[in-house]
Chains A and B, each alone.
Chain A
Amino acid sequence: AQSVTQLGSHVSVSEGALVLLRCNYSSSVPPYLFWYVQYPNQGLQLLLKYTTGATLVKGINGFEAEFKKSETSFHLTKPSAHMSDAAEYFCAVSDLGLTGGGNKLTFGTGTQLKVEL
């Protein structure tokens, strides 16, 4: 079974400050990891993904995440927050399908990011 834990249901930062959203995963098979963003009344938009290869992954809108196997973490960062970054962020892990369950996504409970002036 796979699971994701997002520490901090709400994070508040000042505009221009560093954004750090935490994600830890549990997986019995090599994980494929994703970050999605959800704006109000919208679906989920893919920010970035880790599959194989480079452990530092760059995504859209200046976000990046680093896969650390030893820490079972995949934290999301952005050097300088912008007001438009205010949204809910979800970390997700993918099932490889080896257990017969297709390639479903298992999501964390989300982190609401607030950006203040």
Chain B
Amino acid sequence: DAGVTQSPTHLIKTRGQHVTLRCSPISGHKSVSWYQQVLGQGPQFIFQYYEKEERGRGNFPDRFSARQFPNYSSELNVNALLLGDSALYLCASSLLGGRGQVNQPQHFGDGTRLSIL
């Protein structure tokens, strides 16, 4: 079975532009989470979606938004890009992501490397 797939793998943008990153979860997984990993740091939680509803939001500005589609794939959108948005953006899926279902491990994709010039 295919793992978590993310596209594109690499992206270069300039300040002020908008970007959309895409994620397809493992088949059967209904929960998708997004993380930002700045070089030299651990991943930081951005969003979690479960059954197309937002279930969690990290400490990121409103320029960051996401959504989940009926097939459980997801998009992360970032507006008005800043140099500080340069990072590896990771998507993770899990079998269950409902409230209290924490013992299901999250499986990560290889990420999208976003560079802002």
Contact = CB atoms under 8 A, between A and B. Distances in A.
Nearest to A51: B103
Nearest to B33: A104
Given A43-B4, A43-B90, A51-B103, A102 B48 contact: yes
Contacts, number: 86
Interface residues of A, number: 31
Contact of A32 (B58, B92, B97, B103): B103
Interface of B: 4, 31, 33, 35, 40-45, 48, 50, 55-58, 90, 92, 94, 97-111
B105 A97 contact: no
Interface string A86-101: 0000101011111011
Interface stretch (A13-21, A67-75, A76-84, A106-114): A106-114
